[in-house]
Amino acid sequence: MKKYSIIQKFNALVQIQTIIISALPYIIGSLMASYYYHHFNLSYCLWLFLAVISFHLAVNGHNQYTDYLRYKKNHVTSYNNILEKFNISRKWARNVIILLTLVSATIGIILSFKVGWIILLIGFFSYLIGYCYSGGPYPILKTPFGEPASGITMGYNITLLGIYVNIYNIHPFDSFFWAKAIIVACPTIFVIANVMLANNICDVEEDVKIGRKTLPFYIGRKNALIVLCIYYVLAYIFLILSVVLHYLPTVALGGLLTIPLVYRSTRTFVKDPHKETTFKGILMNVLLVLVSEIIFSLIGLVW
């Protein structure tokens, strides 16, 4: 049996490479705060960013851990499960998940005394969805609601945190910042939801073996692929709307230049949805849409 280092096991359990999916919405929220509200609090912003990333890694680890338990319960062997593949013990995995959760919660509680209770409120709902996503007797990921749950938690809640931590002390305070955040967050909501949707499209047969009936199971692979395409269209529409409403700089429309690239990778995936080959194009779409939005927004911010 191949031996893996502690770092290799940790990276595999928490899927360290996916932190970009939480980082990008947070940056977009901070950019909106800087451009629309003309406020940016570097210190608190960095501390909350650490809490967001720790929570993201804890949720990833929890997903892998509960997946392992489900496979064992149903006597199914999966070479995709990280605990089996990297020979990670259940106790070690639990300790890592608990530690990351404590780091995130501690920072969040301390910050709530500095910037207000809204941080705790958003954090509470994020933790609740994060646990219910893969834990409990009826985890969300086994239902057709996995895609919106991941999109809203990571796309909206994290963007909302990025905005609030930077504007908590503005006068007068904008009580409707959360509604404006929805518009700005929609591109992140849709492209992140598409990662989960594409993953479920690829895994629909294996998911059924462990009792996981996701959206593609209910509406069929063909209709799920149509939804995937619609989500990308909506992402670009809300990017345009964010600029029209002056929540983001006009230059942010430069993100529309990625449409041909996103179209190409999406078309490739639609023709042959496969985890090992075409799925990486869906992951690349997240970077294309959100990184381009960030780069052009930064240009507009400093221009």
SS3 290: helix
CA atoms of 276 and 263, how far apart (whole Å): 20
CA atoms of 235 and 241, how far apart (whole Å): 10
Mean pLDDT of 217-242: 95
More confident residue, 205 or 293: 293
More confident residue, 176 or 303: 176
Ramachandran bin of 220, using left for φ above 0, alpha for ψ from -120 to 50, beta for the remaining angles: left
Lowest mean pLDDT among 22-36, 233-247, 266-280: 266-280
Domain 8-302 CATH assignment equals 1.10.600: yes
Residue 69 tokens read as 């338990």
Q: What is the pTM of this model?
A: 0.91
- The answer to whether 169 touches 40, Cβ cutoff 8 Å, is no
Return the number of other C-beta atoms located less than 10 Å from residue 38's C-beta. 10
Return the number of other C-beta atoms located less than 10 Å from residue 211's C-beta. 10
Distances (CA, A) of 238 to 34, 45, 215, 231, 297: 19, 25, 24, 11, 15
**DSSP string of 285-302, one letter each residue:** HHHHHHHHHHHHHHHHHH
| Length of the chain as a residue count | 303
**Which sequence spans correspond to the domains of the chain?**
8-302
For residue 104, name the pLDDT band (cuts at 50, 70, 90).
Answer: very high
Which residue do the tokens 């507009």 mark?
Answer: 300
For residue 69, name the pLDDT band (cuts at 50, 70, 90).
Answer: confident
For residue 77, name the pLDDT band (cuts at 50, 70, 90).
Answer: low
